[in-house]
């Protein structure tokens, strides 16, 4: 059974793109392919009520408490949130989330039946010093339950400098090799980092790349539609 491809739109701190709620919106679910949007918290409920498959951009592992500004996984479960990003590099950078925090978030989400999309990836310095695999191995420690993995090299995010599909494939195969064999076959590993309508098909031709986490290009409905269409074609 081939793994169902997953194309995710990470809208970050932006409103939903124009036309997101139209009948033929590229952000809507479709058959044979999972399309998931990650709006800001204020737009999450609206998107879910409109029939989109939506996830949160982050969530805390604690159920409730004195964590001003934060939202717990338990709170996300209430309105029916299906996915949550865990450990996006911008959370790691701007909110100092550690691998331990991220593992706890993913475990809390999984326990509630929310699919964690675990974001991992090395910095430019780590790649240049030959430590990229060491980094992703560390980031995967303590993850002993099913997740979707998003491999997002930090140097490729929002820079317009995407990874080369062959290099990304090499890392995806390495990540898969770190998972227990049955789990490895099932786990969807997405690529993220400057994916656009021009480079999407090249990545999708690689056997271990199961879809994308798209940032910038997901805000452009035409570009996102082209990415979704590329993923809908299966050889
Ligand atoms: P980008 O962002 O596509 O703009 O590089 C990807 C991400 O941050 O998930």
Q: What is the DSSP letter of 15?
A: P
Q: Is the CB of 213 under 6 A from ligand 1?
A: yes
Give how many domains the chain has, as a whole number. 1
Q: Is residue 1 part of a domain?
A: no
Q: Is residue 172 part of a domain?
A: yes
- Calculate how far, in angstroms, residue 196's C-alpha sits from the geometric centre of ligand 1: 10
Q: Is residue 209 part of a domain?
A: yes
List the end-to-end C-alpha distance of the chain, in Å, as a whole number: 14
Place of tokens 């209430």: 78
Give the distance between the most distant pair of CA atoms in the chain.
51
Q: Is residue 12 part of a domain?
A: yes
Whole-number pLDDT of residue 177: 95
Question: pLDDT tens across 53-89, in order?
Answer: 999 999 999 999 999 999 999 999 988 999 999 999 9
Which SS3 state, helix, strand or coil, does residue 224 take? Answer: helix
- Report residue 109 as tokens: 């989400």
CATH number of the domain residue 49 falls in: 3.20.20.70
Residue nearest to atom 9 of ligand 1 (CA): 215
Separation between Cα atoms, residue 140 and residue 46, nearest integer Å: 33
Q: Is the CB of 104 under 6 A from ligand 1?
A: no
Among candidate residues 90, 122, 152, 197, the one labeled active-site is: 152
Separation between Cα atoms, residue 217 and residue 10, nearest integer Å: 9
Which SS3 state, helix, strand or coil, does residue 71 take? Answer: coil
Residue nearest to atom 7 of ligand 1 (CA): 215
Q: What is the mean pLDDT of residues 94-100?
A: 97
Question: pLDDT tens across 130-168, in order?
Answer: 999 999 999 999 899 999 999 999 999 999 998 899 999
Could you tell me which residues come within 8 angstroms of residue 159 by beta carbon, excluding any fewer than 6 positions away? 193, 194
pTM over 0.85, yes/no: yes
Nearest atom (ligand 1) to Cα of 157: 5
Q: Is residue 26 part of a domain?
A: yes
Q: What's the domain range around 212?
A: 6-233
pLDDT band for position 235 (50/70/90)?
low
Q: Is residue 130 part of a domain?
A: yes
Nearest atom (ligand 1) to Cα of 159: 5
The per-residue DSSP string of 140-191 comes to: HTT--S--EEEE--GGGTTTS-PPPHHHHHHHHHHHHHHS-HHHHHH--EEE
- Calculate how far, in angstroms, residue 65's C-alpha sits from the geometric centre of ligand 1: 31
- Calculate how far, in angstroms, residue 5's C-alpha sits from the geometric centre of ligand 1: 18
Q: Is residue 60 part of a domain?
A: yes
The answer, yes or no, to whether residue 210 has pLDDT greater than 90, is yes
CA angle 147, 197, 93 (to 5 degrees): 50
Could you tell me which residues come within 8 angstroms of residue 227 by beta carbon, excluding any fewer than 6 positions away? 7, 195, 196, 197, 200, 212, 214, 217
Q: Is the CB of 57 under 6 A from ligand 1?
A: no
Q: Is residue 217 part of a domain?
A: yes
Positive or negative, the CA dihedral 178, 181, 183, 189 is positive
172 is catalytic: no
């Amino acid at each position: 059974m081939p793994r169902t491809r997953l194309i995710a739109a990470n809208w970050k701190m932006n409103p939903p793109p124009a036309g997101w709620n139209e009948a033929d919106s590229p952000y809507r679910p479709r058959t044979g392919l999972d399309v998931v949007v990650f709006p800001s918290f204020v737009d999450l409920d609206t998107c879910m009520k409109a029939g989109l498959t939506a996830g949160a951009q982050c969530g805390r592992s604690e159920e409730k408490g004195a964590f001003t500004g934060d939202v717990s996984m338990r709170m996300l479960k209430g309105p029916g949130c299906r996915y949550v990003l865990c450990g996006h590099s911008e959370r790691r950078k701007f909110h100092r989330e550690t691998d331990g925090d991220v593992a706890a978030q993913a475990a809390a989400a999984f326990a509630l039946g929310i699919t964690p999309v675990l974001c991992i990836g090395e910095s430019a310095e780590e790649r240049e010093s030959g430590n990229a695999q060491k980094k992703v191995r560390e980031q995967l420690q303590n993850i002993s339950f099913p997740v979707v993995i998003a491999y997002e090299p930090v140097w490729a995010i929002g820079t317009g400098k995407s990874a080369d599909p062959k290099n990304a494939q090499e890392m995806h195969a390495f990540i898969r090799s770190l998972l227990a064999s049955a789990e490895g076959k099932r786990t969807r590993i997405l690529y993220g980092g400057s994916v656009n309508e021009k480079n999407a098909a090249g990545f999708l031709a690689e056997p271990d790349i199961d879809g994308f986490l798209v940032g910038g290009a997901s805000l452009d409905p035409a570009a996102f539609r082209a990415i979704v269409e590329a993923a809908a074609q299966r050889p």
